[in-house]
C-alpha cells in the first residue's frame, strides 16, 4: 500500500512540476523534485532487491518496482535546471560541476537509466538471476555520479 502512496505522491509532484512546460520551475521546486526523485529511486531499488531476497519473492512487486525505477531514472537530467544549484542560496548537495560538465553528467545519468532498464527487462521476463546480476551496474552508476556531482558522496 505504501508503494501506491509513493507512486501517487511522485506523480502529483511530477505533474505540478511539468504543469506548464513553458515556465522554468523555481529553484525550490526543482530541488524538492530531485530530492523526492532520488528518495524514490532509493526506495524502489531497496524494495526490489529486498524482495528478491525473500523466501518466496513476489514477482508482480518486483516487476512493478523495476518498471517504476526505469521510468524515474530517465527523468534525472530534467531535475537539474539552471539556477537550482547552490547559487540559488538554498540548501542542496548538488555540486556546481553538474552545470559545468553537463555532457558528463548526462552520460552518468544515462548509465543509471540503462542499468535500470536492464533490470526492468529482466523483471518483465521473470529472470531474477539477471536482475541480481545487473544490481552491481546499478549501484556503480549511482556511486560514480554521486562521487563526481554530490557533496556528500558515498
Q: What was the pLDDT predicted at 23?
A: 75
For residues 75 and 81, the answer to whether their CB atoms sit within 8 Å is no
Q: What was the pLDDT predicted at 8?
A: 44
For residues 83 and 140, the answer to whether their CB atoms sit within 8 Å is no
- The DSSP secondary-structure symbol of 90 reads S
Q: What was the pLDDT predicted at 2?
A: 52
pLDDT along the chain (154 residues), means of 10: 51 47 82 95 95 94 97 97 93 94 97 97 96 94 93 64
Q: What was the pLDDT predicted at 20?
A: 45
Q: How far apart are CA 85 and CA 142, in angstroms?
A: 19
> What pTM was estimated for this model as a whole?
0.82
Q: Which fold has domain 2-149?
A: 1.20.120
Q: What was the pLDDT predicted at 67?
A: 97
Q: Is 94 helix (H, G, I), strand (E, B) or coil?
A: strand
Q: What was the pLDDT predicted at 25?
A: 86
**Other Cβ atoms within 10 Å of 125 Cβ, number:** 11
Domain ranges in the chain are: 2-149
Amino acid at each position: 500500500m505504501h508503494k501506491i502512496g509513493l507512486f501517487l505522491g511522485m506523480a502529483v509532484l511530477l505533474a505540478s512540476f511539468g504543469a506548464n512546460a513553458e515556465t522554468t520551475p523555481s529553484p525550490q521546486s526543482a530541488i524538492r523534485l530531485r530530492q523526492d526523485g532520488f528518495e524514490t529511486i532509493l526506495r524502489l531499488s531497496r524494495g526490489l532487491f529486498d524482495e528478491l531476497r525473500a523466501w518466496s519473492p513476489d514477482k508482480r512487486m518486483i516487476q512493478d518496482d523495476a518498471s517504476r525505477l526505469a521510468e524515474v531514472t530517465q527523468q534525472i537530467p530534467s531535475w537539474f535546471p539552471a539556477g537550482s544549484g547552490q547559487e540559488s542560496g538554498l540548501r542542496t548537495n548538488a555540486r556546481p560541476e553538474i552545470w559545468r560538465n553537463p555532457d558528463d553528467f548526462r552520460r552518468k545519468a544515462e548509465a543509471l537509466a540503462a542499468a535500470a532498464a536492464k533490470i526492468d527487462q529482466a523483471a518483465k521476463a521473470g529472470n531474477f538471476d539477471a536482475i541480481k546480476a545487473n544490481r552491481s551496474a546499478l549501484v556503480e552508476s549511482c556511486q560514480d555520479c554521486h562521487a563526481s556531482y554530490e557533496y556528500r558522496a558515498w
